[in-house]
Amino acid sequence: MDTALPGKSGPPRPVLEASDIARVLTRIAHEIVERAKGADDVVLLGIPTRGVFLARRLGAKLEEITGRPVPVGSLDITMHRDDLRLRPARTLAPTEIPPEGVDGRLVVLVDDVLFSGRTIRAALDALGDIGRPRAVQLAVLVDRGHRELPIRADYVGKNLPTSLRETVKVLVTEEDGRDSVLLGAGDASHPGER
């Protein structure tokens, strides 16, 4: 898919490949264990779509490090978005909360790209409907800047300064057949691009 603007450079260029993504997720998992002092009460909640796959991978890496399973779920934010009136109807994704729940636990929200911060604001609202965590942290594969709300990630795979005219597209094997992060020119009108 070519997301280039007329007169701009060609197709999107990779900024992270599969091996980079694996390395970044391993680093983030180690950072979570260090900050959470062992990750005993950590619950990972991925934000659909690609955040869910990344959360599952982080959960597997945390289990490798700690020797015990870490609860992983998903958190649909659709009905908490502030742009519902502005965009076409969206399909609801499942919210799957681990049996342990979130009350009194350290919840790490996992998403692919941190951009304006509005998705994470919606996730915090959705999480508030489910329970009361001890604390909430945020892990993202890519932070591209351009925040509109005072939100920051606790764990960042790659800081990727971008212009507003550029798009960041995250591909994951489970959804797209390969792992990659692509930077291109154009608008963010395609799924997986921000």
Closest to 181 measured CA to CA, from 145, 143, 147, 151: 143
Give one word for 134, left, alpha or beta, with left for phi > 0 and alpha for psi -120 to 50.
Answer: alpha
For residue 179, tell me if it sits in a domain: no
Residue 52 contacts residue 81 (beta carbons within 8 Å)? no
At 117-137, the pLDDT tens digits run 999 999 999 999 999 999 999
Q: What is the pLDDT along the chain (194 residues), one digit of tens a residue?
A: 333 334 456 789 999 999 999 999 999 999 999 999 999 999 999 999 999 999 999 999 999 999 999 999 999 998 887 766 666 666 778 899 999 999 999 999 999 999 999 999 999 999 999 999 999 999 999 999 999 999 999 999 999 999 999 999 999 999 999 999 999 987 544 444 56
* CATH number, residue 73: 3.40.50.2020
> Is residue 177 domain-resident?
no
Work out the end-to-end distance of the chain between its first and last CA atoms, rounded to an integer number of angstroms: 15
Question: How far from 63 is each of 51, 161, 167, CA to CA, in Å?
Answer: 18, 32, 33
- pLDDT on residue 194: 64
DSSP single-letter state for residue 78:
G
Domain containing 50 equals: 19-80+101-162
Q: How many domains does the chain have?
A: 1
pLDDT in tens, 28-64: 999 999 999 999 999 999 999 999 999 999 999 999 9
H-type helices in 67-133, by residue range? 118-130
- Using the 8-state DSSP alphabet, how is residue 31 labeled? H
Question: Would the pTM count as exceeding 0.85?
Answer: yes
The verdict on residue 151 lying in a domain is: yes
* CB 75 within 8 Å of CB 45: yes
